[in-house]
Amino acid sequence: MSEAMRETWHIGVIGGSGLAAGIGIDNAQEIEVSSPFGPPSGAVTTGTLEGVRFTFLPRHGAGHAIPPSHVNYRANIDVLKRCGVTDVIALSAIGSLNGDMAPGHFVAVDQFIDRTTSRESSFFGPGLVAHVSLADPVCPRLSAALAQAVQAEGATVHPRGCYIAIEGPQFSTRAESRLYQSWGADVIGMTALPEARLAREAELPYALLGMVTDYDSWREAEEGVDAADVLRVMARNTQLARQVLRQFARQLPGERAASPIDRALDNAIMTAPDKRDPALMARLHAVAGRVLG
């Protein structure tokens, strides 16, 4: 059996609204980790769940001080990679554009539409060009395992769904909400992108478990989404989300089999070795050191 096939799991969890207090990690240790891409959202908390190594990072920082458009997504992913994380799970509050996906339900997102406008969406750039495949942006085995864990806890989960990421910080107008429905989006949020893109560039399998908090603004007979409604549903679901993660940890195989995403950069680097920017290469040591040498 190869070294990759004998790898142990180390799950990184990026927690969104309602999970700033953490996910209940055992033997928790808080660590400040720096990144060449600037300050991450906060310190990471590392420890175990059911004997599996977990590292948690609050996406919006302590006290939810960072709005979606100001999250340093590059630093967050870079820091998790530096911590030795092998796989990333994102937990996020989402609005529903699909009548079957009701508040209180969970959605294991499998596709994304990007409507963000002002965020750094790649680790690469001038002096080091790379193009990773993002046709299938989430890891199917992580996503399926999360859905199974939700079912085991007796909650309703939808095994797939298309997430449209908007810039925010405002919620959608009714016209926008209906437009996004016409595009085939099932759920809406403000944080999954560029997070999922960057995880792929960092060769980290990524899955997003969304917790539906509202129906956005497409239901004409109802008032539009309100932040207070979001927080109420999140408060009810926070403990359930923690239980789902423990269930997820319990059902993981003892050994982590290699994923194709572990080698997402194998054929992605376009810039000739003699034309690569040394400074950018140094910044990418954690993210892409495997292929840059």
Task: Give the model confidence (pLDDT) of 167-192 as tens digits.
Answer: 999 999 999 999 999 999 999 999 99
Domains, the chain, in order of start with CATH, read 4-292 (3.40.50.1580)
**How far apart (Å, rounded) are the C-alpha atoms in residues 225 and 40?**
29
Task: Give the model confidence (pLDDT) of 55-65 as tens digits.
Answer: 999 999 988 89
Average pLDDT, integer, range 264-271: 98
User: pTM (2 decimals)?
Assistant: 0.94
Lowest pLDDT segment from 106-110, 215-219, 284-288? 215-219
Catalytic residues: 214, 216
